[in-house]
Structure 1
């Protein structure tokens, strides 16, 4: 009652409206999920998990981590390894919201972590689904990665006494303005976290205003990630097919970027004989349509599609790498890489993935998602800015024809990437403080029932 008299009703009413709307929406959600499954966006066999079903709680302490999509779930891996080393008794539940994230997790999860980790798709934010999920898994603590704020899930976990952390948190100015229209709701939700670790001071400042009073800027977990993998046979096959040709890569591109890259390729082909340009769309399902769109500018025989099993032949000029989880392969082969999402107003992808693999980085003007690291890289000579197709062509030519310049860029980028190396251990220590103390003699009740106490 005192909470309501102090103005808590300003949060209670909108949150009650959200609970009511999601309860009503549950009637049509099975149809929506079925539609997504038919489009390949959900795993039809695992749809019950989206309703909070499928709990399989191991005995002992359990930490729940949630990373919505590919970037968040992959950035969790070094944190998981640090936590696993610090707490040998700890088990993990990792939830994701996308099928692509689940598939990459399966491919990249270190073997040592597999016996200690269970993956599930996160339940939709319906009160009954959330209750079923939390009652089944009974986590000892929860870690949400980046910016997944689902009201029913957060408040239900808080009501059950689950300590929560929001790590690698980011909040754009636009999102902060949106939350600012409901300040009481923001304070109620962001104030539910006992630990908030932001990517930057700007993110931390916005979060503090919205209710996360102790938010601290420690840096970005994505900068601490291990180098992306590359299967040896696939790397050898592509390397053999490409030979000594110069290679320009456009990685994780978004609509509107591929046409600019193709235009840059057209400018470069006379200056760099044999140039191969690889286009890796952020959403691989766009590959076939993209190949058809590009064919008129180069000729159908000059465009090859990796998902069709094609390797780049001598006549291939544009190679569409429409596959999942192969950027580590492509960065190892490229002489320069444009980081996608930066030539169009999307905010850019992670530039340090290329830097860790010795690939010189080119960045468009839109790098808001990685603003601090992008500016640092440009300032240190570790990356070049490109505004459009013409500037992209000039920058790519400069890097692909000057080995000394390329080496200088990759050396500077490697130094920046190395700076983030200790963040997972530091973050793991803060999260460990939310967990129950290890029981050196074991807890027979916990071991027999999986009780969280």
Structure 2
């Protein structure tokens, strides 16, 4: 039973969305001009389809961006193995490009409709999903309400709840309960996440672990990797990946401090590649020679920074080093996923602001794969130590391999939790073609 205040707030949100609907077009056009929307596919954000709806059962999976998409690749492939169609929506240009590169032909991709009633209804009328699955922490009131009205189960997988999100929801507990109680199932990453979802009104809630651990290591073109390794030769390398504003300057400070001591090559991979022109200008202004992946620049002995400005090639950049600083953790908040560098044989360094990945970092730090640094000085000392101390570096790398092995099993647990929902779809998918032939 939704209390009066929560009902009024949710209704007000919905009507505000209807009032704002005419403004959505100009806003998306502005975002497209800045490269944050796909101009050619902008109508998808209003619920207009750009692909045919396949015959048979269909599961709609929504993954906000790249990290969430990678987390559910295994789940999507399991659904396809069961002959269930998969519609994946994402919200960013980078995630759409990743889907094109890694999942083209396996699933259907659309941009997620805006959480506005006309867009959501148009989307659901056309696609008619049997189940809706969101990844990690995506809760959209209008979409949730429309799914509930149509009796379409909505499930949250690999669910996590950051400190700030929990505090924000907890301050509006009645609204949280009105929304989270509509979820048919929550499968959380950790016991802490599960307890938070229960406190906010979700039920039932299960725990699976982190799906990202069960995913494949990021791939790369082995011929390109061999070429860059030959160009780098015996130089020491380290990478600053998934960096946010301010962290690239820190990486440059580290490089300049250590270059003379260890002949260092620094690899920088910003979270948002569209920032790379201004980043290159900043580095050149500081007297550094920059090679960029998009230009296919060669890495020469006097190259200071290899700027990773492409999408979907993290597997390449991490295979060029054994030391990785994971960004959004010193100047940014929340942290980024440390599991990919651990998978690819890197000792992991990070700033202290990692609340979005607390469980993963706690395990990696406790077992010896990851170290937390507070600032540029600590980062420089850690990079220098690991660059010249092979034994310590390899000990950290081995600890990461062992930790990941301990953490595996989330995909099996997630599928087990989903079985009451997907088993009937599996039967339906495998019977319908036979029935069609009989007719």
| TM-score band w.r.t. shorter chain | over 0.9
Aligned ranges for residues 23-422 of structure 1 at < 5 Å?
A: 23-54=18-49, 56-85=52-81, 87=82, 89-109=83-103, 114-115=105-106, 117-272=107-262, 274-297=263-286, 299-300=287-288, 302-422=289-409
- Normalising by structure 2, what TM-score? 0.94
Distance 1:440 1:371 in 2: 39
Equivalent residues, number:
434
Distance 1:165 1:19 in 2: 21
The answer to whether the 8 Å contact 1:83/1:425 transfers is: no
- Which residue of structure 2 aligns with residue 451 of structure 1? none
Per-residue CA deviations over 1:303-341 (Å, capped at 9, x if unaligned) read: 333333322222111222222122110111113111111
Distance 1:98 1:440 in 2: 31
Distance 1:66 1:420 in 2: 24
- Normalising by structure 1, what TM-score? 0.91
SS in 2 for 1:168: strand
- Which residue of structure 1 aligns with residue 14 of structure 2? 19
Q: CA deviation at 1:422?
A: 2.1
Q: Which runs of 4+ in 1 moved over 4 A?
A: 444-448
Q: Does 1:425 align with 2:425?
A: no
Q: CA deviation at 1:213?
A: 3.2
Q: CA deviation at 1:140?
A: 0.8
Stretch deviating more after TM superposition (305-314 or 247-256): 305-314
Q: Quick one: structure 1 residues 441 and 253, their matched pair in 2 at CA, closer, same or farther if it must change by over 3 Å?
A: closer
Distance 1:329 1:204 in 2: 35
Q: Note the residue ranges of structure 1 that are not aligned, 5 or more in a row.
A: 449-453
The answer to whether the 8 Å contact 2:90/2:112 transfers is: yes
Q: Note the residue ranges of structure 2 that are not aligned, 5 or more in a row.
A: none
Q: Quick one: structure 1 residues 183 and 446, their matched pair in 2 at CA, closer, same or farther if it must change by over 3 Å?
A: farther
The answer to whether the 8 Å contact 1:60/1:447 transfers is: no
